[in-house]
Amino acid sequence: MTKDVIALTERMPDALSVLAGLLAGGPDLLVEAAGEGAVVQLCDTEGRPLVSIEVPLMLQVPGEAVRLLGPGAELSGGGPAWWVEARAAAGVPQAEQLAGAFAARLTMLLGGRVWPPDAPGTVGAARPVDLSGITAVPAPAAAQPAVDMLTDRAAVVLQDRPVVPMTSWLSEVLRATVESDRSLQIVTPPHCRLSMPTRLLLQSMPSRWVVQDERCGYYDGLTGAVLTWQDDAFAPAGGENGETPVADAFTQAEPSGEKQLSISFRTLHRPTADLVLGGALEAAWQALTGGLPAGWGTSEPAGLTWSRRQLTELAHERAPQSTWTVVVGTPDRPAVATLRVIRTPEGVEEDITLTVGYGPGEELPLEALPGLAEGLVTRYGLKTMLCQLREARRDLSTPPHYENPPLPYAFVLGPAEVQEAGRDIASRTPLKERPVPLGPPARPGFFYALGDAETAENWAALEVLLRHLRGAPPA
């Protein structure tokens, strides 16, 4: 597996401290820049990369390090920390020691700690790592620093960390694989989990989560399908009856009583000079958690404190290209959202998915959903919203075993979509409960209750509703 080592420092890394870390391999190593200057690589005398080091990221959001690295990753003192990630080349033991020594040197000079704390190279880091006899693998010309194997069909990334986040490295690999018509394939041991943003992006792109299990080989961490390496990529294995078998490890899961409430909605705004984005997400966060978002960023960890103004400025700078961000909450109430800002011919659209986690016995704020929908319709140009419930981890990470799929709880149609469907059609549906009108009577939206979200019948109710709104005959 890949060897990622992270230095969490109390003070901002400066040029001298970074230089001291880079000298962990002695003065003979070459230093190269990659990723348009965002990555520094320590290379052997032939120019082959041994360790790739990302620029320091300031963490202003409490709990982000613990969310992604587990207990013990938070620094004492309560102030901001700097996250410096070093990625050792796969299959080169000395490279892992070099990454650990680099991180240890930074923390010795700047205070802080290294993750993982037992990373090779952290003991005796003051002495240069012995690199005699090292044989690094040349990097493929089209590879990103985070890619461990590149074929014509796939970019394979090896990871071994508690939670696989959508880091800036990984998002860049995902973008590059899409542009080159490849599949991103993340390979992990069975103890790893995916962060919610990583799972959502993997499910929406040509990609695969490959879990390497000692008992059953390789399998897909999201579907359980047994995988084999064939034609330069991991692909489903064929069973005796032609169907792909499901790995036993994927089905071995016990119910925990934890739940998630997820709302996915789209809003549309006129592109005025005084437009400030993020208000709809703030309203949803307040309704479901009682507070506001804690932090945000264009990757994980989310290092910036929440700011609608900064979000708007970033989206404006990137227009007409879309802007994808991750938004996180406080440790006491796990909540994570992804927000994509898209410039369309109709205006500025926000595509948002917000998920909140609840432990056994914690009450879900389902009664707040109609009021939230009312506010989104009247103030934030809501187009559609889908509310779903599922039995899944409170911390919102995804383990490599079966979890019950989400069940729809409610659907909301905004005023413009009601007008498009026809007000009579939108207000009179085949559902058991009558829809709740939202907003001004002259141009309302509607809130549709789909059931108690305890059985798959809710999916049937949603399908009936959508067919009705589209004017299609009943199935």
CA distance 431 to 358: 29
pLDDT band at 334 (very low <50, low <70, confident <90, very high): very high
User: By mean pLDDT, which of 23-27, 350-354, 441-445 is the weakest?
Assistant: 23-27
Chain-wide mean pLDDT for the chain?
89
Q: Which amino acid is at 352?
A: I
pLDDT at 323: 97
Q: Is residue 346 classed as helix, strand or coil in its secondary structure?
A: coil
The pLDDT of residue 36 is 57
With cut-offs at 50, 70 and 90, classify the pLDDT of residue 147: confident
Cis peptide before 334 (omega within 30 of 0): no
> And the tokens for 385?
């919203």
CA-nearest of 424, 343, 465, 399 to 191 is 399
Span 3-16, pLDDT tens digits: 789 999 999 998 87
Mean pLDDT of 92-116: 88
**Residue 121, pLDDT score:** 80
Chain position carrying tokens 């400066």: 14
Query: What percentage of the chain carries pLDDT values higher than 90?
Result: 66
What is the pTM (predicted TM-score) of this model?
Answer: 0.92
pLDDT above 90: residue 143: no
370: left (phi over 0), alpha (psi -120 to 50) or beta: alpha
- The residue-averaged pLDDT of 128-138 equals 51
User: Which H or E run contains 323?
Assistant: strand 323-328
Q: Residue 1 pLDDT > 60, yes or no?
A: no
pLDDT average, residue stretch 71-95 = 83
Q: Tell me how many helices (H) and strands (E) the chain has.
A: 12, 26
**Neighbouring residues of 272: CB distance < 8 A, sequence distance ≥ 6:** none
Distances (CA, A) of 192 to 24, 61, 64, 326, 397: 29, 23, 17, 20, 10
Residue 82: predicted pLDDT: 94
Q: Is pLDDT larger for residue 238 or for residue 469?
A: 469
Q: Which of 439, 304, 301, 463 is nearest to 379 (CA)?
A: 439
What was the pLDDT predicted at 142?
Answer: 39
Q: How many CB atoms lie within 10 A of CB 239?
A: 11
* Between residues 100 and 350, the one the model is more confident about: 350
Residue matched to tokens 């804690």? 294
Residue-wise pLDDT tens digits, 151-181? 999 999 999 999 999 998 888 888 889 899 9
With cut-offs at 50, 70 and 90, classify the pLDDT of residue 277. very high
Q: How many CA atoms lie within 13 A of 161 on its CB side?
A: 30
Cβ-based burial of 96 (10 A; exposed 0-12, middle 13-18, buried ≥19): buried
Contact 305, 61 (CB under 8 A): yes
pLDDT tier, 145 (very low <50, low <70, confident <90, very high otherwise)? low
Confidence of residue 141 (pLDDT cuts 50, 70, 90): very low
Kindly report the backbone phi and psi dihedral angles of residue 102, in degrees, each rounded to the nearest multiple of 5, phi listed first.
-60, -50
Short-list 323, 326, 318, 337, CA closest to 300: 326
CA torsion sign for 35, 39, 40, 44 is: negative
Nearest to 166 by CA among 137, 191, 195, 131: 195
CB 202 within 8 A of CB 222: yes
Mean pLDDT of 398-415: 96
Q: Taking phi first (over 0 means left), then psi (-120 to 50 degrees means alpha), and beta for anything else, what does residue 65 get?
A: alpha
